[in-house]
Amino acid sequence: MFGTDELIVSKTDTKGVITYANDVFLRLSAFPEDEVIGRPHNLIRHPDMPRCVFKLLWDTLKDRQEIFAYIVNLAGDGAHYWVLAHVTPSFDASGQVVGYHSNRRLPDRDAVAATTALYADLRAAERQHSRPADAIEASTALLNQKLADRGQTFDQFIWSLTSEGAAA
């Protein structure tokens, strides 16, 4: 169970290898710490996540910017759980990116429902292509079109689904 007052925290190096995971991460992911530290963060990637969302995440981080996204994760025991993720670059004293820090919290049910529908469309676009690069290109184009139809950026879409964004 993931409580509204809990935060999942993890840190990775610049290649996405986990360097830190808090107790909430370990509990929800159903992995012991020694099976998480030193492993790629995509260890918990759920197959229902569209590739284009991760491309957007990595492109945003590469630009030294933060990103918020709804993510469904796959636990080691086969369970899944949704999060509202906030991922930021971590900088050293000279301003170089040395890794990434992610905080995740329990998302609103309505946000998960809206995101699930969008992600299903994006995955359907990806399944029409055998080459991963073509799949990502197709789902990225569809995501951009859906956002343009809404007159929103990805950030605006994400925040429109949060209880805070809906109340604003």
**Structure confidence by residue, pLDDT tens digits, 2-16:** 888 999 999 999 999
User: How confident is the model at residue 2, as a pLDDT?
Assistant: 83
Q: Does domain 8-153 have CATH number 3.40.50.1820?
A: no
User: How confident is the model at residue 167, as a pLDDT?
Assistant: 44
User: How confident is the model at residue 163, as a pLDDT?
Assistant: 62
**158 in Cβ contact with 68 (< 8 Å):** yes
Instruction: Report, as an integer, the average pLDDT of 134-149.
Output: 97
- Average pLDDT of the chain to the nearest whole number: 93
The percentage of residues in the chain with a pLDDT greater than 70, rounded to a whole number, is 96
Return all residues near 89 (Cβ < 8 A) that are at least 6 apart.
61, 64, 65, 66, 97, 99, 100, 101
pLDDT in tens, 76-129: 999 999 999 999 999 999 999 999 999 999 999 999 999 999 999 999 999 999
Task: Please state the pTM of the whole predicted model.
Answer: 0.90
User: How confident is the model at residue 58, as a pLDDT?
Assistant: 94
Domain locations along the chain: 8-153
Handedness of CA 144, 17, 36, 94 (dihedral sign): negative
